[in-house]
Chain A
């Protein structure tokens, strides 16, 4: 906090400072206090069910965590979940942005319908999909499959992680679409027209004009989605509770199990530190990109 001394020299600086102080102080507390506590707990023997066992644990919690196969399963699930959802939403979102940029009858309403899932609260999305869409006997998908002669799929027991990916992708595809559609609007139509005059087909126009134009928006979508997807929680909480077994337990859900079901504060905190580090790797890139943008 060298900010106050540096800008406090002038009257204007003082004013600036007093106006910014509440926001800055609150955010600073919000960041430092829990972060410091998580870090502190991660080196402590601290289990709410065993109040007698206390003291400095050194790296014990981390050791326990990394030798626990559950962590690696959870990490693997986290990566699969993030990877698949990103692939579906970014590719799908880009293609849909191109489609919804075309002029067609009722485009405005079609767009609004297509971005709607993003505004649905996660617990509703997850339960609607789990019950009404993916139910093995009464769901709409089961009915569809059966009416074309295919066997119905018991989504959550035979393809648990895939089911979660579908639900989460359904929520985030509209986000990618919304952002990319906005970015499409600044596409130079004259440039597209000129390319068309030169005989470029739609595929060439897409790869050589549209995609390069969307590059920055796409990377923003990827990074923002990564930050949220790394810690998907509610969708798992209300559908599979991490199961069957650990099939749908991601890092966020594992920390939740350790903290609020096993009451193992030390291990949960060590997991929290790992989650923070993972998120920060992504965050650095995002912050850098936004910083560059702030310049112009």
Chain B
């Protein structure tokens, strides 16, 4: 650029400020319109959950007398709680297991690295690249033969393995950020490995472990390939339950909306809370 700032000095201060104000107003309107447009289907779903079935399929309206009958009906007719409990058991069960297995592993990788650590980490990442559909047939057959089809245990097992690489990676990046001196000092004082993990590492990295756990819960809760293919009724989590609304005779929009609202609310809130840490986990530390 050869104009060397003369352009910037020229405009009068007042017009400059006015145009900045117009620009700001424009950006505010644009930003909010786009955000609301993107959010609209969720908003509409929450709203429809409080309508009667008749109002739900009538012309779109914001004015109606809200009802809780759908929430009641969803529980009474299909036993919403049962599916929700399956989701809770599967999401938290698999997260607990994954953390239990991953914490020692990530600890070793972060604090006792060997030449092979990097290779192992990358190999773990590569197992995540295996498309589920590629191994659908063997997993289905194994599950059928050992009686794991349509069981919570089966889903917990799958989700633990599915999330293990992400959990190890995320914990590894959190552990790496921890100052080594503290652990060094504890070791000098004669702390054993386990004491070191339990009394120092875990308390100090608790926020990191918590957000790793949350990401794992979110991913398991929303998983809809294995849950649709490996469960039928007993162990069906919410993803599979909501899918049952897809049959033509089951087109009750208000009930679908009520059930959906309950199914996504907890995860939406968790997601809002942990968005920053999620980026770390979802990109394997490549974007911080």
- Shortest distance in angstroms between B57's beta carbon and chain A's nearest beta carbon? 5
> Does B155 sit within 8 A of A, measured CB to CB?
no
Interface string of A162-181 (1 = CB under 8 A from B): 00000000100111001100
Would you call A117 and B42 a contact (CB within 8 A)? yes
Contacts of B107 on A, CB cut-off 8 Å? 19
Would you call B35 and A111 a contact (CB within 8 A)? yes
Would you call B105 and A20 a contact (CB within 8 A)? yes
Q: Is the interface of A mostly helix, strand, loop or mixed?
A: helix
Assuming the contacts A30-B161, A120-B268, A121-B242, asked whether A265 and B137 have C-beta atoms less than 8 A apart, the reply is yes
> Does B112 sit within 8 A of A, measured CB to CB?
yes
> Does B75 sit within 8 A of A, measured CB to CB?
no
Interface string of A7-37 (1 = CB under 8 A from B): 1000011011001101110110011011101
> Does A122 sit within 8 A of B, measured CB to CB?
yes
Q: 8 Å CB contacts to A: which residues of B86-140?
A: 101-102, 104-105, 107-109, 112-116, 118, 120-122, 124-127, 129-140
- Shortest distance in angstroms between A284's beta carbon and chain B's nearest beta carbon? 9
* Chain A interface bracket (under 10, 10 to 19, 20 to 34, 35 or more): 35 or more
Contact of A199 among B8, B60, B130 (CB under 8 A): B8
- Shortest distance in angstroms between A216's beta carbon and chain B's nearest beta carbon? 7
> Does A129 sit within 8 A of B, measured CB to CB?
yes
A286 to B8, CA, bound (A): 43
> Does A191 sit within 8 A of B, measured CB to CB?
no
- Shortest distance in angstroms between A100's beta carbon and chain B's nearest beta carbon? 6
> Does B77 sit within 8 A of A, measured CB to CB?
no
Would you call B242 and A23 a contact (CB within 8 A)? no
Contact of B39 among A7, A114, A216 (CB under 8 A): A114
- Shortest distance in angstroms between A39's beta carbon and chain B's nearest beta carbon? 10
| CB nearest to A23 among chain B residues | B105
Assuming the contacts A7-B116, A179-B282, A231-B225, asked whether A256 and B161 have C-beta atoms less than 8 A apart, the reply is no
Would you call B122 and A287 a contact (CB within 8 A)? yes
Contacts of A265 on B, CB cut-off 8 Å? 137, 141
A224 to B287, CA, bound (A): 12
Assuming the contacts A260-B229, A265-B141, A273-B134, asked whether A238 and B243 have C-beta atoms less than 8 A apart, the reply is yes
| CB nearest to A121 among chain B residues | B222
Contact of B263 among A41, A117, A124, A230 (CB under 8 A): A124
> Does A67 sit within 8 A of B, measured CB to CB?
no
Would you call B102 and A123 a contact (CB within 8 A)? no
Contacts of B1 on A, CB cut-off 8 Å? 198-200
Sampled A-B contacts (19; CB under 8 Å): A3-B116, A7-B115, A7-B116, A16-B113, A26-B161, A41-B138, A104-B31, A113-B38, A115-B271, A120-B268, A121-B267, A122-B239, A127-B260, A132-B41, A178-B278, A216-B286, A256-B229, A279-B131, A290-B286
Which residues from chain A sit less than 8 Å from chain B, CB to CB?
A: 3, 6-7, 12-13, 15-16, 19-20, 22-24, 26-27, 30-31, 33-35, 37-38, 41, 96, 99-100, 102-107, 109-125, 127-133, 138, 140, 143, 170, 173-175, 178-179, 182-183, 186, 196-200, 216-217, 220, 224, 227, 230-231, 233-234, 237-239, 251-252, 255-256, 259-260, 265, 268-269, 272-273, 275-276, 278-280, 282-283, 286-287, 289-291, 293-294
